[in-house]
Amino acid sequence: MLRGLDTFNRGLEKVLEWVLLALLAFFLSLILYQIVSRNLPVLPPIYWTEEFSRFAFQWTIMLGTALGVYHSDHFVLDAFPKNSRMDRFTRYLREIVLVLIAIFFIWSGWEFAESGWRRRSTAAQLPMFWIYVCFFTAGVVMALFMLQRVLTLLTKGLDKMELELNSLPPEEIALREGDLDPDGPLRHKDEDR
C-alpha cells in the first residue's frame, strides 16, 4: 500500500508542479496586462483581470502549501539541538498537527466552498464556489501527502521518513554528495584550513 501511495503522490506532485507553474504564468500575465493597459490607451481595460489574478493567487498559495507539506517545507520548528528530546518531540508533534490541519481544511473547506454557490464574483459573475473550493482541495492533497508521511513514520521511523520525504537544506545535500567537509559546516573539501 505504501509503495502505491508513494507512486501516486509522486505523480500528484508532478501534476501540482505544472498546475502551479500555469497558475503563476496566468497570474503574472494578468498583472502585466493590467499594468500595460493602464498606460496604453490602445488596450481596453478588462475588469475581470484583477479578480482572476486574485483567484489564481489564492489557488497558488493553497496548492503550494499542500506541496510544501509533502516535503516538510512548511511548518518546521528548528529551535532545539538536533536529536534532543525536545527536537524529536516537536518533529512528531508537527506530523500530528499537519494531519489535524488537513482534516480541518477538508471539513471546513467544503462548508466554505458550498457557501460560494450563493455568491458571485463582482466582475466575472463566476460562482465563488470555484474559488473557495481551493481550501478543500488543499486539504485533500495535504491528507494524501500526510497519509504517506504517517505510514512511512509508522513503518520506518521518524529519521527514515524525514530522509525519504523531507527537502534537505543545500548544505546537507552537499555533505551527502561528498562536496562538503563534515568537520566544518559549509566548508568545501578542497579549501585550505
Residue 188 within any structural domain of the chain: no
184 located within any domain: no
12 located within any domain: yes
* pLDDT tens digits, one per residue of 87-103: 889 889 989 999 999 99
pLDDT of residue 39: 87
Q: Yes or no: say if 56 and 23 are a contact pair by the CB < 8 Å rule.
A: yes
Is 87 a member of any domain? yes
- List the domain range (segments joined by +) for residue 107: 2-176
Give 105-126 as a 3 state SS string. HHHHHHHHHHHHHHCECCCCCC
Cβ proximity of 95 and 103 under 8 Å: no
User: Does any domain span residue 71?
Assistant: yes
Distances 79 to 22, 64, 96, 182 between C-alpha atoms, Å: 36, 24, 18, 22
Give yes or no for residue 159 having a pLDDT over 90. no
If phi > 0 it is left, if psi is from -120 to 50 it is alpha, else beta; for residue 138 that is alpha
Mean pLDDT of the chain: 87
User: Looking at the domain assignment, is residue 192 inside a domain?
Assistant: no
115 within a domain of the structure (yes/no): yes
**Mean pLDDT value of segment 119-127:** 91
Backbone angles phi and psi of 10, in degrees to 5: -65, -40
Residue 193 has what pLDDT? 44
The 10s digit of each residue's pLDDT in 5-18 is 999 999 999 999 99
Cβ(179)–Cβ(171) below 8 Å: no
For residue 130, what pLDDT band results from cuts at 50, 70 and 90? very high
Tens-place pLDDT, residues 50-77: 999 999 999 999 999 999 999 888 767 6
193 occurs within a structural domain: no
- Closest listed residue to residue 23, CA positions, set 134, 181, 168, 176: 134
C-alpha–C-alpha distance, residues 57 and 154, integer Å: 36
Q: Please give the tally of structural domains in the chain.
A: 1
